[in-house]
Amino acid sequence: MEIHQSTVILLLLLCVSSYTHAQPAHTMRRYQNFLNHHRGPYVNVEMCTSEIRHRKITDSAGYCKPVNSFIRAPDHLITAVCSGGTRLYYNLFRSGTPFDVVTCRLKSGQTHPDCEYDRGRLSIGNIVLGCEHGLPVHYEMGSHFMLRRPGSSWGFDALRKGT
């Protein structure tokens, strides 16, 4: 039996492709959704309404999100939180370095495209991300999350206990 060179090349390409794209499909969908909702290296405080409309950002039921935050950093720095951040609980990781974050709050409207947002608020601080297979899939909180006192009833301890 003779193996054709083109067959060998095809098999090698498939092996390389499956290795580089080994993330489960649902993880990749969640990662792409995370990037659409939260990556905004160029977003400024004046862009909340236009950016959220352009990206068609809504909550899971299709309504206007009450709050949405944009992390002003490139993909590789955001993704690095999942591998280089401090594990807080299960799949939550806190960044070791601060990020610029623009937080947008809903002013009026209920459904896309009628969502109107107030001027955003720029904050600088560590971020907390939910990660799956080494990729960010959920933005938990920004710098205010880090201000809790250890053992207090507010902040991360309260979230973990469900209070």
* pLDDT (tens digit per residue) in 6-64: 554 444 445 434 433 567 899 999 999 999 999 999 999 999 999 999 999 999 899 99
What's the confidence (pLDDT) of residue 152? 35
For residue 160, pLDDT over 90 is answered with no
**pLDDT tier at 2 (50, 70, 90 boundaries)?**
low
Q: Kindly indicate the confidence band of residue 158, based on its pLDDT and cuts at 50, 70 and 90.
A: very low
Q: Is residue 18 part of a domain?
A: no
Full-model pTM: 0.74
Task: Let me know if residue 34 belongs to a domain.
Answer: yes
Classify residue 137: in a domain, yes or no: yes
Q: Answer yes or no: is 30 within a domain.
A: yes
Scanning the chain, the segments in alpha helix (DSSP H) are: 5-20, 25-38, 48-54, 75-84, 156-161
Asked if residue 11 is part of any domain, the answer here is no
Tokens representing residue 21 in the block = 């794209």
Whether 16 is covered by a domain: the verdict is no
Tally of structural domains, the chain: 1
- The pLDDT value recorded for residue 20 is 36
Judge whether 46 lies within some domain.
Answer: yes
Question: Which pLDDT belongs to residue 113?
Answer: 86
**Which residue is it, tokens 């792409």?**
32
Check: CB of residue 99 under 8 Å from CB of residue 127.
yes
Q: What is the CATH number of the domain that holds 110?
A: 3.10.130.10
Q: What is the distance between the alpha carbons of residues 79 and 140, in angstroms, rounded to a whole number?
A: 14
Residue 7 tokens read as 């067959």
Residue 4 included in any domain? no
In eight-state DSSP terms, residue 102 is E
- Give the pLDDT band (50/70/90) at residue 5: low
- Domain boundaries, position 60: 24-161
The catalytic residue positions are 38, 138
User: CB neighbours of 11 closer than 8 A, spacing ≥ 6?
Assistant: none
Instruction: Return the biggest CA–CA distance within the chain.
Output: 71
Digit-coded pLDDT (tens) for 70-113: 999 999 999 999 999 999 988 999 999 999 999 999 999 998 88
